[in-house]
Amino acid sequence: MTRKLWIKRSLIFCSALALYLIPSCSQKQMRISSSKQPHGYTRTSEQDMRWWRESKFGLFIHWGPVSLKGTEIGWSRGREVPVEVYDNLYKDFNPVKFNAAQWVSIAKASGSKYIVITSKHHDGFCIFDSRYTDYDIMSTPFKRDVIKELAKECKKQGIKLCFYHSIIDWHHPDYLPRGEGDNRPADDAVFERYVTYMKNQLRELLTNYGPIGILWFDGEWDPTWTHEQAEALYAYVKGLQPHIIINNRVDKGREDMHGTTKEGNFVGDYDTPEQEIGKLNKDRPWETCMTICQQWAWKPNDQLKSLKDCIHTLVGVAGGDGNLLLNVGPMPGGSIEDRQVERLKEMGDWLKKYGQSIYATRGGPFKPGSWGASTHRDNLIYVHILNWSDDTITLPPIPNKIIAASVLTGGTATVKQIKESIEISVPQTSRRPLDTIVVLRLDGPAGQIPPCDVSQLN
C-alpha cells in the first residue's frame, strides 16, 4: 500500500462523519423551500444566479488522458478502447504544453465569462490532486494540479471557474453498474461507499480552489442514483459553498437531451439542453451545452463549426433566454487546437462589437425561429435578423410604442409600426452575413411584453 493510499484510507472515518454534519442545516432549509415549489425549480437565489444569467456565454472544456487516443471521453472506455488500455492511459499522459494563463486568455478573448472544466468524467480520472485516489493528475508523468493552476489564472483574469463532475465513475470499484466491457466482479461493491468517496472529492474541489461558480453534474441516469441521494448531495454542496449554482443533472428530473426538468420536486437550479437550442423559457433558467466540433474530447481532424453556426447558436440561445456553454477539447500535449482558438477569437471579436445585444439581456419578446431571434434590456429590443426570406421582416404587434430605431450592425432600417404588426426593412447594403441587428427603442420596459410568435407572419 502506498503512503498516499494509507493517508486516504485513514481519513475515511472522519470524512464520513463530516458528510453527515455539514448538510444538516441546508437540508432543513430545503424542506422549507420544497413545500412552496412543486416543480423542478431554482433553489439558488435570484441574486446568486444573476452573474450567470447576465454572462450568457461560457467555455466548456473536456480533457483527460483519453485525448491520447482521440476517442470520446468516458464513452469510448470498453468500446473503441479496451478497459484495461483506457484505464492505463494516464501513465503516458504528460501534457507539458498546458498553460493555464493561455487557456484562460483564450476563454476571455472568446467573450466567455466562465469556464467549466471536467474535474472528473464518467471514466473516473481526476484532473485535480485528490487524496482519495491514485487515479489522478498527480499520478501521471505531468504531476501538476491543473485545477490549482486554472483557479489562480481565473482569479487573475476575472473569469469564473466552474466544475463538471460526473456522478458516474466506471473506474471506482464500488460504483454500480459497471461500465461497458468492464468484467470486474461486483459482489463486494458497496454503492454507498462510492457516494462517500464522491462527496470527499467534492469537498476537496469546493474547499481547495476558492469560490466556484457552478457545479455541473452529469451521469444521474443509472438506477443506483436516487432522488433522495440527489437532495442530500445538493444540500451537501450548498453546505460547502452556499452561493454555488448547481444544474439539474444532480437529480432524476432531466428529460433526455432536451435537458428540461419534468414535473416533480426535483433539485437543480437550471436546465441543460445538450447539442440543441432550448425553446424560449423565461420561467426556468437553462443553458445549452454544445461542441465547437463534433466530439466533446479532442479528435484529430474533427469537423469544426463555422463562425456563422457559432454566432447563430449564440443568438438563438440568448433569444430563448438561455446561456451557451461552448465546448473545446484540448489536445494530449495540453494546448488547444489553433483552429478552435481562432474560431473562439472570431466569436470574441463579434461580441466586442455587438455584445450589448447579448450580455445582460433577456430573451424575447419575439420568439426565435428560422428568421432570427430577439433579446431585450430595459426599453430596448434587439432584433437579430439571421435569414431574409423577403425584403421585409414582419413581427407581431406589441403594446408599447416604438419611439426610435437604429441598426447596431451599421446602416439604415425602415420600421413601420401599425396596429396589426411591425414591419422592418433593411436595404441589401446594410444587411450583414452573420446577423443584422435592429434596435427598437420603446416608450416603456420591454420585459413586460409577453412572448409572441413570429413564424406565422413570415
Write the DSSP string, 148-200: HHHHHHHHHHT-EEEEEEES--TTSTT-SSPPTT-----TT--HHHHHHHHHH
How many structural domains compose the chain?
2
CATH no. for residue 384? 2.60.40
Same domain, 117 and 198: yes
Q: What is the DSSP letter of 366?
A: B
State the CATH number of the domain containing residue 101: 3.20.20.80
- Considering the domain architecture, whether residues 413 and 274 belong to the same structural domain is answered as no
**Strand order through the sheet with 245-246:** 245-246, 214-218, 160-166, 114-120, 57-61, 323-328, 287-291
Query: For residue 175, what are the CA distances in angstroms to 99, 127, 172, 191?
Result: 33, 19, 6, 6
Same-domain status, 344 and 412: no
Domain limit, last residue, from 338, 357, 376:
357
Residue where a domain stops, chosen among 307, 333, 357: 357
Beta strand 422-425 with 392-395: parallel, antiparallel or unpaired? Answer: antiparallel
Cell 423559457 maps to which residue?
A: 281
Comparing CA positions, the residue from 305, 309, 307, 359 lying closest to residue 328 is 305
The H or E element spanning position 403 is: strand 402-407
Name the domain boundary from 357, 390, 420: 357
**Digitized pLDDT (tens) for each residue of the chain, 458 residues in all:** 443 444 444 444 444 444 444 443 333 333 323 334 444 555 899 999 999 999 999 999 999 999 999 999 999 999 999 999 999 999 999 999 999 999 999 999 999 999 999 999 999 999 999 999 999 999 999 999 999 999 999 999 999 999 999 999 999 999 999 999 999 999 999 999 999 999 999 999 999 999 999 999 999 999 999 999 999 999 999 999 999 999 999 999 999 899 999 999 999 999 999 999 999 999 999 999 999 999 999 999 999 999 999 999 999 999 999 999 999 999 999 999 999 999 999 999 999 999 999 999 999 999 999 999 999 999 999 999 999 988 999 999 999 999 999 999 999 999 999 999 999 999 999 999 999 999 999 999 999 999 999 976 66
Q: Do both 333 and 393 map to the same domain?
A: no
Asked if 46 and 143 sit in the same domain, the reply is yes
H runs (alpha helix) in 208-226:
none
- Regarding whether 400 and 280 lie in a shared domain, the answer is no
Does residue 132 share a domain with residue 29?
Answer: yes
The parent domain of residue 384 ranges over 364-457
